[in-house]
A = this chain, B = another copy of it.
């Protein structure tokens, strides 16, 4: 067992949280923004302090590497992301990076060299807020997306990923794909939901990630003056959209215990008190650990949207913008996390992640698992996101010991 430095962990968390800080205690550190550049520069400094070799790939994914004592051993990779939502919290992503840094700083301080090399990585654009899709950097690296396509993705102002990577100086020279054999990938992240807190657990052992479907839907009715147009002459796009929002609230309860559904985005045209809405665009999203349930949610919401459009006499167009199957993590990595938590005498809870993470893509490259830190009140993607230093420490210590087990061959390797 090793023990990380709690004070340094807190100091590192505070340092990163000052970069792109908002007045209400949150973060505004959108991918490839100036604040993202600043926190990447900070990350490079820390990699240097820890004595790691830096490698920046063509997509801005930034790695620090510590060689192991065995020149033939495969690499243990630890990582997460430093970008944030436009009004996000201090812990989402950053705690995973800081915990990985703290692990290698602890090894360095104690002059411990595991037989496996260790890499820590900051993935580009996990949030998918400025540029879609989310988990973009890890997706490119794992081969889920074509890098040429992703370079061309543009933000609302038309700036592309490629240009912004150049602008902030993080379009590196290394290939954005696995160039070594990897032993395992571990990621620490805040839970972003209430289940660890509800179970009064110290730390979460993550066994997989739910699958999901995202859709974009446009209702086209007829914009008209809200006064002289009788109710029976209307085709109100917002009325049809409202109907679907109500259905998205209802559908999860008809499908599964773990199913969730959300309409997070809505845009009205022309959006004036005195005009019947002519066009309304919404997104919907459903998640469940069972891919068959996700498929049923998708079929159900499409049927409900068609009914809603037909009732109101408006046109409907929809597109499934994303579908991700659920992920099951590798037993040996789950076991490494579980035994680390047990050895540290933390109360742990096994759970399936309700959010997507970079580990989704990494699980297609190597054995993977995640450590979850308690999210108080389950809040995330909000300045109210909060994890106590005790819980940050418990999760980071669990990550460090799970990684140490994997890097020192204390966990049997499965046949892959």
Residues of A in contact with B (beta carbons under 8 Å apart):
85-87, 128-129, 134, 191-195, 210, 212, 214, 222-231, 233, 236, 238-239, 241-243, 245-246, 249, 252-253, 258-268, 270-278, 283, 285, 287, 353-356, 375, 378-382
CA distance A223 to B26 in the complex (A): 13
With contacts A191-B228, A229-B378, A238-B245 known, what are 16 further pairs, Cβ within 8 A? A85-B275, A129-B274, A192-B227, A192-B229, A195-B228, A224-B380, A226-B260, A228-B375, A231-B259, A239-B246, A239-B249, A264-B273, A264-B276, A264-B277, A267-B271, A273-B285
Give the residue of B226, B246, B277 whose beta carbon is less than 8 angstroms from that of A243: B246
Given A225-B381, A264-B271; A194-B87 close (CB under 8 Å) = no
CB distance from A252 to the nearest CB of B (A): 5
CB distance from A355 to the nearest CB of B (A): 4
Copies, count: 2
Q: In the assembled complex, which residues on chain B have CB atoms less than 8 Å from the CB atom of A277?
A: 263-264, 266
Whether A379 pairs with B260 at a CB distance below 8 angstroms is no
CA distance A210 to B355 in the complex (A): 51
* Residue in chain B with minimal CB distance to A357: B227
Give the residue of B242, B267, B354 whose beta carbon is less than 8 angstroms from that of A245: B242
Of A85, A212, A233, A272, the most chain B CB neighbours within 10 A belong to A272
Whether B266 pairs with A192 at a CB distance below 8 angstroms is no
Given A233-B194, A253-B231, A268-B265; A226-B285 close (CB under 8 Å) = yes
A contact patch SS: loop
Whether B193 pairs with A378 at a CB distance below 8 angstroms is no
5 shortest interchain CB distances as A-B pairs: A193-B228, A228-B354, A227-B355, A242-B245, A226-B262
Whether B274 pairs with A382 at a CB distance below 8 angstroms is no
CA distance A264 to B278 in the complex (A): 9
Q: In the assembled complex, which residues on chain B have CB atoms less than 8 Å from the CB atom of A278?
A: 382
CB distance from A307 to the nearest CB of B (A): 14
- 29 of the cross-chain contacts (CB-CB < 8 Å) are A85-B270, A87-B223, A191-B228, A192-B225, A192-B228, A193-B227, A193-B228, A193-B229, A195-B228, A210-B227, A223-B381, A224-B378, A225-B381, A228-B378, A228-B380, A231-B259, A233-B378, A238-B264, A238-B266, A242-B243, A242-B246, A263-B277, A264-B272, A264-B274, A265-B273, A266-B271, A267-B271, A270-B381, A273-B283
